Amino acid sequence: MPTVGLIQSSVSLTASAKLTILAAKERAIENINIAIAGAGRMGKAVAESIEQDSAFGLIGTWRRGGDIEALVGAADVVVDFSMPDGTEVVVEAAVKYKKPLVCGVSGLSDKQMAKLDAAGSQIALVFDRNMSLGIAVLERTVRNAAATLGRDFAVTISETHHVHKKDAPSGTALKLGEAIASSRGESGTGQIQFEVERRGEVPGDHEVVMSSATERLSFTHSVTTRRVFALGALRAAQWLVGQPPGLYSMQDVLFGKR
């Protein structure tokens, strides 16, 4: 089980009263044992990040044909970077053993998303198609910008990823599009145009352009190493410990529950 430690600071109110208030500044949660689902690029990046951070331990990585129940049963938190059919199996095991789950898999079908949604009534679960802090901030920023600029501004989202990526447009591009569309009262990705490029080993570039007849506003985000997603997933794992059941996103992890 993870241990919860309180980092305390003392604040001297007045010299005469010598009154000291010990305030719990931050809850530092340590010794979180992680089971990873998916032994690909992201699964490996998460394992490497766990190795470099004493706050986490690695229970093991689930590979095709492996015993998911043994891993999930022994973990404090499960981190899933497999593929959509793998996610179905992982969610079932996490619900069965009542374990918090961080799922970063993109390209899930509506049915698979409904399964995650239903799991959120039984376990604490963070699902996000992009675990980076920068994209979480970008999502907030473009949502606010689009709400202010209104529908007179056309929006284009361009993304470039490595040639191995299977889904297109990327989950991140769709998520940014959905945030912008909903801020303008449109459903899904509304009127937003997407441009997709697959090139070399690019870990992930996104550009959002909002343009009218008289001006053009652009926002860009570039990933320099996919480790950023692993670190975000571990931050989400740490945040999940002790959370009540629910389906959360990185917006909740970084900015508090909506």
Ligand X SMILES: NC(=O)c1ccc[n+]([C@@H]2O[C@H](COP(=O)([O-])OP(=O)(O)OC[C@H]3O[C@@H](n4cnc5c(N)ncnc54)[C@H](OP(=O)(O)O)[C@@H]3O)[C@@H](O)[C@H]2O)c1
User: Shortest approach of ligand X to residue 90 CB, angstroms?
Assistant: 8
**Residue of the chain from 34, 35, 42, 123 that contacts ligand X (CB under 6 A):** 42
State the binding string over 155-194 for ligand X (x if CB under 6 A, else -): ----------------x-----------------------
**Residue of the chain from 49, 72, 81, 142 that contacts ligand X (CB under 6 A):** 81
Q: Which stretch binds ligand X (CB under 6 A): 39-47, 49-57, 190-198, 205-213?
A: 39-47
The dihedral through the CA atoms of 226, 177, 77, 73 has a sign that is negative
Of 184 and 227, the one with the shorter C-beta distance to ligand X is: 227
Q: Is 130 in the site for ligand X (CB under 6 A)?
A: yes
State the residue number with the nearest CB to ligand X: 40
Query: Using CB under 6 A, which residues numbered 228 to 247 contact ligand X?
Result: 229
Collapsed DSSP state (helix, strand, coil) of residue 15:
coil
Closest CA to 230 of 93, 95, 56, 1: 56
Known catalytic residues? 161, 165
Collapsed DSSP state (helix, strand, coil) of residue 17:
coil
Cα dihedral 246, 175, 40, 72 in deg (nearest 10): 0
Task: Determine contact, residues 55/238, Cβ cutoff 8 Å.
Answer: yes
The letter for the amino acid at 145 is A
Q: Is 86 in the site for ligand X (CB under 6 A)?
A: yes
Of 85 and 197, the one with the shorter C-beta distance to ligand X is: 85
Round to whole Å and give the CA distance between 218 and 156.
10
Round to whole Å and give the CA distance between 86 and 80.
9
Contact residues toward ligand X (CB under 6 A) are: 38-43, 63-64, 81-83, 85-86, 104-107, 128-131, 171, 226, 229
